[in-house]
């Protein structure tokens, strides 16, 4: 026991010294400098954009004509294909407190958005976490991304959506079908929130698309005219 606490004490002292000597290095190749170096970022596979309803490939981030409806997003953009090393980086960003990854992720997503000509007319909002998850993690990774992109592009961030509590966690629900059912009614508009005409909705990873589809439905029902869904990765 004494040995263990001795080791912990040593780690506490050595940790900051290591950080001082090797301040920051790429999480993928360990090259000193940024949390993800430019060479590694270039090597990540870009997202294969698809219609979120039927799954058919759509490189423009649109729903198929037959799948689109007024309650759906106008555009779905994503940075990366959800494959390693992106999967592992997002896991660290989301669950292991590695919030320094927010900067390189935001740069990539801001670059995607800068191609949208009227991007300054949008407000950015994000998928809210349940209170339980927020307490457990201490931060909402999608909110961090929204704030970082807001700063990059000088676009306002708004906490437009809230989570309706007492729902079974998506992580617990294993099957895709069950997930879709569980997410129904999971979001509402924050009381007293001003409804923008155009919204960019941030999510970290899109898997089935059920979460963002539900959130977009709520935004559109509240009077938002245009919604661009922006995700870090598409599974």
Q: Name which of 51 and 161 has its Cβ closer to Zn ion.
A: 51
Nearest distance, CB of residue 68 and Zn ion, angstroms? 8
Q: Name which of 93 and 126 has its Cβ closer to Zn ion.
A: 93
Residue ranges that bind Zn ion, judged by CB under 5 A: 26, 28-29, 31, 37, 40, 51, 53-54, 56, 64, 67
Nearest distance, CB of residue 171 and Zn ion, angstroms? 27
Nearest distance, CB of residue 39 and Zn ion, angstroms? 6
Q: Name which of 162 and 208 has its Cβ closer to Zn ion.
A: 208
Q: Name which of 26 and 212 has its Cβ closer to Zn ion.
A: 26
Nearest distance, CB of residue 42 and Zn ion, angstroms? 10
Q: Name which of 39 and 121 has its Cβ closer to Zn ion.
A: 39
Distance (Å, rounded) from C-alpha 87 to C-alpha 93?
10
Nearest distance, CB of residue 232 and Zn ion, angstroms? 18
């Amino acid at each position: 026991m004494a040995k263990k606490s001795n080791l912990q004490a040593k780690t506490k002292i050595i940790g900051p010294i290591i950080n001082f000597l090797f301040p920051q290095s790429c999480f993928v190749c360990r090259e000193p400098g940024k949390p993800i170096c430019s060479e590694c970022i270039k090597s990540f596979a870009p997202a294969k954009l698809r219609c979120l309803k039927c799954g058919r490939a759509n490189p423009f981030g649109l729903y198929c004509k037959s799948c689109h409806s007024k309650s759906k997003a106008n555009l779905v953009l994503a940075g990366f294909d959800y494959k390693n090393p992106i999967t592992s980086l997002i896991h660290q960003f989301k669950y292991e407190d590695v919030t320094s990854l927010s900067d390189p992720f935001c740069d990539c997503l801001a670059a995607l958005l800068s191609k949208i000509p009227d991007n300054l007319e949008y407000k950015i909002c994000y998928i809210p976490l349940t209170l339980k998850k927020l307490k457990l993690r201490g931060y909402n990774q999608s909110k961090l991304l929204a704030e970082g992109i807001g700063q990059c592009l000088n676009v306002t961030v708004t906490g437009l959506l809230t989570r309706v509590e007492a729902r079974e966690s998506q992580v617990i629900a294993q099957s895709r079908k069950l997930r879709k059912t569980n997410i129904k009614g999971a979001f509402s508009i924050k009381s007293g929130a001003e409804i923008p005409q155009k919204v960019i909705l941030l999510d970290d990873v899109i898997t089935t698309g059920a979460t963002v589809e539900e959130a977009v439905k709520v935004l559109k029902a509240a009077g938002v005219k245009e919604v661009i869904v922006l995700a870090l990765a598409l599974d």
